[in-house]
Amino acid sequence: MPLTSVRVLDLTRLLPGPYCTMLLADFGAEVIKVEDPAVGDYARYFEPKVDEDSAMFHSLNRNKKSVCLDLKSAEGKDEFLRMALDADVVVESFRPGVMERLGIGYEKLKQVNPRLIYCAVTGYGQTGPYANEPGHDINYLSLAGLLHLMGERNGKPVVPAAQIADIGGGALPAAVGILLALLERKESGKGQFVDISMLDGVLSWLQTLLPGYLSGGSVPERGQQMLDGGKACYAVYETKDKRFLAVGALEAKFWKAFCHVIGRDDFIPLLEVPLHEQYRLKYEIQSIIYGKTQVEWLELFSEADACVSPVLTFDEMVQHPQVVAREMIQTLKHSSSGTVNQIGVPIKLSETPGRICTEAPKLGAHTDEWKKNKRM
């Protein structure tokens, strides 16, 4: 596997850091969760549970090991420094300065192992006036200006159900940064500090909105953009049976097909009409879509290239033929629960694919092995 020779010490908890190290572990990295012996990763205690740990914890921490160390004790710090000697990567998500106060910050670890790549995933990064401020996904979205644009035109901002900043702004850039640093180390022989800010990451996602404003355009408003439901060709419509269709007929060819299926070819020239006319158009389309059930509309659209799809529940999504074909829901053996269903590996490599090899570790499951062998 691509990362088989890479050892990662993972000090992170909850979602962003563990998602990053999950990606590394899925492709062969030896990821050792370094957990507090009393509590461990807080995500262990969420509901619902699979045996004594949460379903979310099992998903995020597959393919990893767990070693318990009290990093506030002299013994724990010494053990961690010994672990760092043979590590390639350290990932942590504490606020800036915490690792330094513990005596195991980047400068100290760099002295122990100059080849070490140290990745810190934080809300606001290591610099700037907000560096030490607390925050969660909703805060990073709000400060990035993204939350302001989410929701209906005259309503309040809508909080997304998935964590955009945590994963898209934090975990994914962290994984990319680590891989870039590993590549660079092959040339220089030296490690480096990877500074990941979830706010920075969210800002970088605003590619369809922010460049226009930065180029002298007006401030975008909620429900008035091409890709936020403002246009009739890119919106969600309710069906007769109170289900929904997602319509993404942005291009003229898709819009033409959509209008033909709903029996309104007179709408075809209206693709780019001004905003106030878009709302009238959406109203008329909604009146038409109300006339049939979701299944009836899907049958009508089945032969048309119109970018129309059903809004699925989880029950429907896990059985969808595309999800099944891509193996994005996998059933795995579990030592105490028999089997467990998990989210699959999203990155598909043709020659060295990622895979789920081992279940998430119990708290401290590999501590004795580490102490006995001083390596694993």
Annotated active-site positions, please? 136, 166
Alpha-carbon distance of 231 to 84, in angstroms, equals 53
- Is residue 297 a contact partner of residue 303, using CB atoms and an 8 Å limit? no
Alpha-carbon distance of 41 to 363, in angstroms, equals 8
- Pick the closest to residue 59 from 353, 340, 366 (CA basis): 340
Structure token pair of residue 208: 């369809």
- Is residue 329 a contact partner of residue 343, using CB atoms and an 8 Å limit? yes
Alpha-carbon distance of 336 to 28, in angstroms, equals 24
Under DSSP, is residue 152 helix (H, G, I), strand (E, B) or coil?
Answer: coil
Alpha-carbon distance of 221 to 225, in angstroms, equals 7
Alpha-carbon distance of 273 to 281, in angstroms, equals 9
Omega into 48 within 30° of 0, i.e. cis?
yes
- Is residue 225 a contact partner of residue 272, using CB atoms and an 8 Å limit? no
- Is residue 72 a contact partner of residue 103, using CB atoms and an 8 Å limit? no
- Pick the closest to residue 225 from 238, 213, 216 (CA basis): 213
C-alpha 83, offset from chain centre: 28
